[in-house]
């Protein structure tokens, strides 16, 4: 049934005004245009909606029935319009963030505290996954913005707008049992021969480290592979192995339970990237969060 929403709006306004002439004034169209659209709607529905008279237009029983549905529909549309207005002003809305546990805890947490205190009406949802999975959720629309460890492959990056916001440097740390390494430089070959504690293979940090050693023909076979970044320090402090960690996310170095190894090589520099979809305008909450982070 080919009925335009505009016809229902004219019908609703006429019913509220109780007059074709008053409806025309409210809608800023001619009275004949109101009459024509009402007549068209009646013909398409096969019912009479109004009883016309000198004192105006009164709804028929069928018109009363339609009015109930039209009112609910128009109220819902108005509610949606009001919601979008509140979302633009950040009084209300939602923000779905994709990020790894480590980035969430050591980079995002303080920034989200400020954002939440500034815009308490925005509901924040965080999906913690490794980089590849986080980007997959961004592409599928399950998150609005993604915070990931860079670099990433061109295959993952081709559909994204990426802003680099913080440089990261990976290092190796050890507990007191390995203090004999503290005063000298450790080579890649020697390090690979020691018990290692590293993140699980699917993490981007681990992939980058493995790839770097592989370019020198060295394969890393960690003693322990963990899903939690902070557990790396716990394992290192218990002398369970040499842990690969991110220097910028390592306040544990200050308590002296672990120490930073000197190495005759440097792992590739990484960074944190803010990712949004190309050719998709970010929601106001996303724009404001990015603005707060990069200012």
Residue 243 carries which DSSP code?
Answer: E
The tokens for 246 are 């991110």
The predicted structure's pLDDT at residue 195 = 98
Collapse the DSSP code of 195 into the 3-class scheme (helix H, G, I; strand E, B; otherwise coil) and give the result: coil
Q: Which of 88, 119, 147 is the last residue of a domain?
A: 88
> What is the rounded average pLDDT for all residues in the chain?
92
The whole domain housing 81 covers 5-88
pLDDT of residue 89: 63
Residues 262 and 202 in one domain: yes
| Beta bridge partners of residue 225, listed in sequence order | 198
Q: Give me the pLDDT at residue 17, please.
A: 94
Q: Are residues 279 and 149 in the same domain?
A: yes
- Tell me the pLDDT band of 87, cut-offs 50, 70 and 90: low
In this prediction, residue 30 carries a pLDDT of 93
Q: Are residues 290 and 150 in the same domain?
A: yes
Q: How many domains does the chain have?
A: 3
What CATH number should be reported for the domain holding residue 164?
3.40.190.10
Asked whether the predicted pLDDT for residue 101 surpasses 60, the reply is yes
Q: Which helix (H) or strand (E) holds 146?
A: strand 145-150
Q: What percent of the chain has pLDDT over 70?
A: 97
User: What's the pLDDT at 255?
Assistant: 85
Q: Look at residue 116 in the predicted model and tell me its pLDDT.
A: 95
20 and 108 assigned to the same domain: no
Rounded to whole angstroms, the Cα distance separating 83 from 93 reads: 8
pLDDT, tens digit (0-9, with 9 covering 90-100), for 106-139: 999 999 999 999 999 999 999 999 999 999 999 9
**pLDDT for residue 62:** 94
* More confidently predicted of 13 and 85: 13
Q: Of residues 266 and 52, which shows the higher confidence score?
A: 266
Q: Check whether residue 10 and residue 28 sit in a common domain.
A: yes
What pLDDT is recorded for position 47? 94
Which of 88, 109, 141 finishes a domain? 88
Residues 77 and 40 in one domain: yes
**Are 143 and 275 contacting, i.e. CB atoms less than 8 angstroms apart?**
no
Q: Examine the domain organization and report whether 259 and 183 are in the same domain.
A: yes
Q: Could you tell me which residues come within 8 angstroms of residue 82 by beta carbon, excluding any fewer than 6 positions away?
A: none
Give the model's pLDDT for residue 5: 85
Q: How far is CA 182 from CA 42, 52, 93, 102, 260, in A?
A: 89, 96, 52, 27, 8
pLDDT of residue 256: 84
- Of 62, 88, 114, which closes a domain? 88
Could you write out the DSSP letters of every residue in 120-139? Answer: TTEEEEEEE--HHHHHHHHH
142 with 285, same domain: the answer is yes
Average pLDDT over residues 266-278: 96
Q: What is the pLDDT of residues 146-196, one digit of tens each?
A: 999 999 999 999 999 999 999 999 999 999 999 999 999 999 999 999 999
To the nearest 10 degrees (0 to 180), the angle between helices 284-294 and 61-88 is: 0
One domain, residues 222 and 190: yes
Q: What pLDDT is stored for residue 168 in this prediction?
A: 97
Residue for token digits 């990931």? 148
Q: What is the pLDDT of residues 189-222, one digit of tens each?
A: 999 999 999 999 999 999 999 999 999 999 999 9
What mean pLDDT do residues 225-254 have? 95
What pLDDT is attached to residue 169? 97
> For position 35, which CATH number holds?
1.10.10.10
Helix, coil or strand: residue 291: helix
> Do residues 158 and 280 both lie within one domain?
yes
Query: Dihedrals φ, ψ of 270, to 5°?
Result: -115, 180
151 and 286 co-located in one domain: yes
Q: Give the burial class of 240: count Cβ atoms within 10 A of its Cβ; 0-12 exposed, 13-18 middle, 19 or more buried.
A: middle
- Whether 284 and 260 share a structural domain: no
**Alpha carbons 283 and 127: distance in angstroms, whole number:** 18
Sheet holding 145-150, edge to edge: 122-128, 93-99, 145-150, 270-277, 160-168
Q: Considering only CA atoms, which of 184, 282, 204 is closest in space to residue 246?
A: 204
Task: Assess whether pLDDT exceeds 70 at residue 3.
Answer: no
Identify the residue with better confidence: 93 or 22.
22
In this structure, the dihedral spanned by the alpha carbons of residues 225, 229, 234 and 235, taken in order and rounded to 10 degrees, is 20
């Amino acid at each position: 049934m080919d009925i335009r929403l505009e016809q229902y709006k004219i019908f609703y306004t006429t019913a509220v005004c109780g007059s074709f002439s008053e409806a025309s004034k409210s809608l800023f169209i001619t009275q004949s245009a109101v009459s024509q659209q009402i007549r068209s709607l009646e013909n398409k529905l096969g019912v009479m909606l109004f009883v016309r008279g000198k004192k105006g237009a009164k709804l028929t029983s069928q018109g009363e029935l339609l009015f109930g549905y039209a009112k609910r529909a128009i109220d819902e549309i108005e509610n949606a319009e009001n919601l979008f207005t509140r979302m633009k002003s950040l009084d209300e809305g939602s923000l779905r963030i994709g990020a790894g546990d480590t980035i969430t805890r050591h980079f995002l947490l303080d920034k989200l505290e400020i954002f939440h205190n500034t815009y308490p009406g925005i509901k924040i949802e965080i999906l913690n996954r490794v980089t590849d999975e986080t980007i997959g959720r961004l592409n599928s629309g399950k998150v609005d913005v993604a915070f990931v460890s860079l670099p990433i492959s061109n295959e993952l990056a081709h559909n994204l707008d990426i802003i680099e916001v913080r440089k990261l440097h990976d290092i190796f740390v050890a507990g007191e049992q390995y203090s004999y390494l503290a005063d000298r430089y450790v080579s890649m070959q020697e390090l690979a021969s020691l018990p290692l504690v590293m993140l699980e293979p699917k993490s981007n940090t681990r992939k980058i480290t493995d790839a770097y050693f592989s370019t020198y023909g060295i394969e890393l076979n960690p003693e322990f592979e963990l899903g939690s970044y902070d557990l790396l320090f716990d394992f290192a402090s218990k002398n369970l192995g040499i842990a690969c960690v991110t220097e910028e996310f390592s306040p544990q170095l200050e308590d002296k339970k672990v120490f930073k190894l000197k190495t005759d090589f440097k792992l590739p520099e990484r960074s944190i990237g803010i990712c949004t979809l190309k050719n998709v305008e970010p929601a106001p909450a996303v724009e404001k969060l990015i603005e707060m982070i990069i200012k």
